[in-house]
Structures are given as structure tokens and as C-alpha cells.
């Protein structure tokens, strides 16, 4: 992905579990500008499995997912995601981390 977008990823050598406190609606994606993805064509698998068929970005914001009566209308590709993770883990040296870890904001580098 870094090659395609012209930006080198951070040097991460170990898997990083998702940091729910940091990333659950508190820190937007590094590549989100004006509510639009600036790397859409080259987005990672985690982003490809997030669907929103609604007319706005309401369900894209995690703070809305747990509201009383909230039912996030989304299909799932959990099987594809799980297969991707198994295939990635089988590859020697593959490291899994959040996109915000691989590509921190410019001022955090």
C-alpha cells in the first residue's frame, strides 16, 4: 500500500492488537479528509470490509454503534477477513497492525 500511495509505512516489527481506547471513534483514520478516504483505491482489507449503503456517514462513526436501539445495517465478510488473516499469518514475517500505526499522521512521525 505504501508503494501505491507514495508513502513509506512505519517500521513495525511485532503484531499490535487493536487499541480500542485510542481508535474507537476518538482518532480518525490518517487518510480521512473532509469525510472522504484519500486512498480509497488502495485501502487495506480492514477498510474494505466496512460497508455503508446509507446516504451519509452516520454509521461509519463508531460512537453511533452502541446507541440504544442501534442496529448497524451492514453485510459481513468475516469469512474473507478470517481467511486473509490465516493466509497472512502463514507468510513468514507478516505483521498485523492498525492503519494508524502503519501510517501515523504526519505530525506524529
| CA atoms of 27 and 108, how far apart (whole Å) | 13
Contact 41, 96 (CB under 8 A): no
pLDDT reported for residue 31: 87
The mean per-residue pLDDT over the stretch 69-94 comes to 71
* Tens-place pLDDT, residues 2-40: 898 999 999 988 888 777 666 665 677 888 888 788 998
Question: Which of these, 76, 30, 29, lies nearest to 50 by C-alpha position?
Answer: 76
Domain residue spans in the chain? 2-108
- Give the pLDDT confidence of 36-59 residue by residue, as tens digits: 889 989 988 777 776 666 677 776
d(CA 31, CA 82): 24
The better pLDDT of the pair 36, 77 is held by 36
User: Is residue 105 over pLDDT 70?
Assistant: yes
Amino acid at each position: 500500500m505504501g508503494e501505491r500511495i507514495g508513502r513509506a509505512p512505519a517500521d513495525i516489527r511485532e503484531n499490535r492488537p487493536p487499541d480500542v481506547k485510542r481508535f474507537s471513534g476518538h482518532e480518525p483514520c490518517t487518510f480521512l479528509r473532509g469525510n472522504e478516504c484519500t486512498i480509497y483505491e488502495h485501502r487495506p482489507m480492514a477498510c474494505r470490509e466496512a460497508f455503508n449503503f446509507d446516504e451519509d456517514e452516520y454509521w461509519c462513526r463508531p460512537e453511533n454503534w452502541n446507541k440504544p436501539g442501534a442496529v448497524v445495517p451492514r453485510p459481513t465478510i468475516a469469512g474473507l477477513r478470517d481467511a486473509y488473516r490465516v493466509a497472512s499469518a502463514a507468510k513468514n514475517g507478516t505483521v498485523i497492525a492498525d492503519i494508524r500505526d502503519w501510517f501515523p499522521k504526519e505530525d506524529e512521525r
